[in-house]
């Protein structure tokens, strides 16, 4: 299977979503990956990932819940991926 040649954070799908969305990202090399969800005010909602990841094409699901396991409200959210040398943010919309 081919490996990605650059870091990438893709648009979530579906978007808008209710109640679950998938976030795809590409890693060309083994990396410590942090994938965070933030609300419109920049407050941390949930850390989806925080750990070592092998190179390749990856996907993670978000079920619209916060760190306490409670459903968050409808609205715009941001998701940010960060590795040692790469950081990217995209927005998504949760509909109720």
Give the tens place of pLDDT for each residue, 68-81.
999 999 999 999 99
Number of domains comprising the chain:
1
pLDDT at 21: 98
Q: What's the per-residue H, E or C state across 18-50?
A: CCCEEEEEEECCCEEEEEEEEECCCCEEEEEEE
Q: What is the pTM of this model?
A: 0.95
Q: Does a structural domain hold residue 71?
A: yes
pLDDT in tens, 9-60: 999 999 999 999 999 999 999 999 999 999 999 999 999 999 999 999 999 9
Inform me whether the pLDDT recorded for 96 exceeds 90.
no
Domain span holding position 83: 8-94
Contacts of 2 (CB under 8 A, 6+ apart): none
Can you give the CATH number for the domain in which 59 is found? Answer: 2.60.40.4070
Q: Which two tokens stand for residue 12?
A: 């979530």
Kind of pairing between the strands at 75-82 and 8-9:
unpaired
Domain for residue 1, yes or no? no
Relative to beta strand 56-62, strand 8-9 is unpaired
The answer to the question of residue 3 being in a domain is no
Q: Is 58 part of any domain?
A: yes
Asked whether residue 28 is domain-assigned, the answer is: yes
Would you call 89 helix, strand, or coil by DSSP? Answer: strand
């Amino acid at each position: 299977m081919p490996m990605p040649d650059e870091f990438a954070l893709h648009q979530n799908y579906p978007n808008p979503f209710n109640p679950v969305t998938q976030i795809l990202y590409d890693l060309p090399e083994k990396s410590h990956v942090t994938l965070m969800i933030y609300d419109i005010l920049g407050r941390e909602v949930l850390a989806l990932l925080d750990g070592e990841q092998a190179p390749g094409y990856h996907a993670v699901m978000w079920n619209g819940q916060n760190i306490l396991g409670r459903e968050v409200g409808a609205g715009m959210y941001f998701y940010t991926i960060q590795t040692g040398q790469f950081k990217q943010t995209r927005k998504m919309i949760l509909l109720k």
